[in-house]
Amino acid sequence: GNSVTQMEGPVTLSEEAFLTINCTYTATGYPSLFWYVQYPGEGLQLLLKATKADDKGSNKGFEATYRKETTSFHLEKGSVQVSDSAVYFCALSERWGSSNTGKLIFGQGTTLQVKP
Amino acid sequence: DSGVTQTPKHLITATGQRVTLRCSPRSGDLSVYWYQQSLDQGLQFLIQYYNGEERAKGNILERFSAQQFPDLHSELNLSSLELGDSALYFCASTPGGQGPFGEQFFGPGTRLTVL
């Protein structure tokens, strides 16, 4: 079945450091890929998305490129801030269809802690 | 603010009890998904409704059930509660059957604690 694997955390960085959180997926067909972020005590917020191979999603300085050849969607940011401290989830969405429901399949989440 | 609301925010109850969690989707969204977030299982899909009809089931226990009402709000009913049911329960909604790019919009969640 479809699955998502993220690098284990926690990841601890100093402010202004470069961030990479690895995400790989297994899927049939052509899923959409997402990064969601969960700040402490809050729900999930969509951070960025990509819907086809070679698409680059970007938002708030974060980027991720849909790599079909390596089945990856790694999250990067050039300079992290303390306010980026949160849990980051990589997810894929099965295409809506007769047997697929569009449900999201999540990775296990990676906790990022940024220190001043 | 995603536009998805969930009530209550926190719920504390005892084993064996029954609770109901409520979700109001974004205006116009027809599809509601329920997810459970727990420390050991991570984020898991439970069930989906589309325009009042159940469309898909995931890892949902038989003690759990859900429904979507004509005004499109949804309720998740959890019965015979066990300690292991303690978790954060999210609902998410999408316009039509699926968002334009498959994205879902999440509510703030209901934290259930079973004592």
What residues contact B14, with CB distance under 8 A and at least 6 apart?
A: B81, B114, B115
pLDDT at A59 over 90: yes
Instruction: Work out the number of other CB atoms within 10 angstroms of the CB of residue B28.
Output: 10
| CB nearest A103 (choices: B45, B101, B105) | B45
| CB nearest A32 (choices: B2, B55, B102) | B102
Spatial separation of the C-alpha atoms in residues A20 and A34, rounded to whole Å = 15
Residue B14, min C-alpha distance to chain A (Å): 23
Interchain pair B106, A43: CB under 8 A? yes
CA quadruple A7, B100, A63, B89: dihedral sign: negative
Interchain pair A32, B94: CB under 8 A? no
Q: Quote the pLDDT of residue A24.
A: 97
pLDDT in tens, A3-29: 999 988 899 999 999 999 999 999 887
Spatial separation of the C-alpha atoms in residues B87 and B18, rounded to whole Å = 15
Q: Quote the pLDDT of residue A99.
A: 56
pLDDT in tens, A60-110: 999 999 999 999 999 999 999 999 999 999 999 876 555 567 789 999 999
pLDDT in tens, B28-68: 898 999 999 998 888 999 999 989 999 889 989 999 999 99
Nearest Cα to A36, choosing from A55, A16, A62? A62
pLDDT in tens, A25-36: 998 878 889 999
Interchain pair A102, B98: CB under 8 A? yes
Q: Quote the pLDDT of residue B41.
A: 84
Nearest Cα to B93, choosing from B6, B27, B5, B31? B31
